[in-house]
Structure 1
Amino acid sequence: MKNIKLTTEQRNPLSYRIDTKSTTEILTIINKEDHKVAGGVKPAIPQICNVVENVIKAFNNGGHLYYIGAGTSGRLGVLDASECPPTFGVSRDLVKGIIAGGYEALTRSIENAEDDGDAGIQAVKDVNINENDVLVGISASGGPNYVVEALKYAKSKGAAIAAISCNEDTRSFDICGQENSIFIHVGPEIVTGSTRMKAGTAQKMVLNMITTTAMIKTGKVYNNLMVNLQPVNIKLIDRAINLIIEVTGEDYKTSEKAFYDADKETKTAMIMLMLNVDANEARKLLSTNNGSINKVLDERGVQCNIS
């Protein structure tokens, strides 16, 4: 078998003869193996931290975070990117997932797309990647030409680059260097080579960590509350109003009025009520403090009353 040295391509002795097991036994084996994923991520926190710091810098300088991958890895990048606008109220272009084979590959497998290095280069050219941006290459094996060539090109343009892989000593790691190479050791898969399983779960965990931490550090979260959410439906409007109640201590009617007076801007409504200012003044305060409620309150000498 080609690339048999790759951990993710080896057989897992704990799942030998899994085809003879009962349904409950199979599920138990899968669950037991999945428990290894979080433990595999923990040793990579220093490298993940380096990547997050680069992402924060990019966001503060008007840059972007791009994920690039093929197959499952590419889909995970698109998934994480697509959740950022509704969760954190950011533009759709701030975080973007690029997948080998294009968006058609989101719903069907295009296996040979990962081998096309020129397409990887073109994909990052198409987003005009530059020195203000970050490109994270995602792949279980760490070696698809599509990802590797994209990373090389992005590096040549001065972008910060990083790679996520479930194998050591990969081509993508060689390009990114040790500090920005996120190795997640999860071992062989239950079904040999099926990296949509533990490897995919591990990659998604890391992507969650990168975007969530970067958004927290750039003022999109207050305390542990999702204050930058986009209230685009009834459920989210109710959530936003309840967040205002939680933060300000005001009743529902007062919080609802502030929410609509602020044109459904949750953070603006919070500042209005906490500092007794109008919507325009609240927006100015947030704008001059990088959208951070904490910084606005510190500037005004007001303490947070929620735990």
Structure 2
Amino acid sequence: MRIGFIGFGEVSYELSKGFKEESVTEIYAYDPLYDREEVKEKAKELGVVLYPDPVQVAQQQPDVLITAVPAQHAWDAWEKVSLGPLHEDTIYVDVSTAGASVKNTVYEQLLNKNHYFVDVALMGPLPVFQHRVSVLASGSGVDAFMERMRPFHMNIEKVSDRTGDATNIKFIRSIYTKGLSMLFQEVLQLSYKLELSDMIIESISQTMDEKPFKEIMNRLVTGSAIHSERREAEMSNVVSFMEANDERPIMAEAIKERLADLTSKGLRETFHNETPESWRTVMEEINKKGGVIHDETRQ
């Protein structure tokens, strides 16, 4: 097995550590900082051969070529790779957080839809799991990628054959995970200041622990479809309350704005003031009123 990396930062380093444990002996890498001592030391530690040009990595005809660079450099990295020979048997993998539109363009324009291409979203901490990290994968080369990496015990879940779906899942999930962490920040910052944090945490805990997550999610979404206007008014008072206590209502303002947008959809009238049974019904109505995103317009 020959594995190539474009970019030899934390992602490539941790993956390489894991692959070495699986007895992968040929690993090649390019990094723009290839001549720095710390990069050389990490490569030497793992027996990774460094090259000063990404084309040279591609010329080694790796079984898998992985681009692991910051999102803003993904296109440039692939553009450089495409200047060299593109091999029919190489599986080209992008683990960056570049958007689906960038990855689609790489596949369509630089690889001309003629090569295996895989959009990968890494879903866990690499220093902990290394190559066994949970991976979501989509694109034309997913099946070949999963088969080729099977002996090395990677944890790959196929999303679809459509480039970008894996990244889209990660981005959408990030709205929840990052949003929730900042919501906690806003709640705890104010409750701690007012010496109410213990009671607030206990109260929220009781609410969130009483039912499984999916049931709670469904209840919150369907309930807001009917009661958004009243909840918007309540959030106006919350915003004023926070400002009176010298706290910036960043999340509270966003919640108020989202509720106002929901009210503008007229869902209470659509559902005749009756709470729908499923969040899917709510989403279907919102899509009818706001326009459905069809496959050809996905970004």
User: Structure 1-normalised TM-score?
Assistant: 0.26
Higher relative contact order (CA 8 A, sep 6+): 1
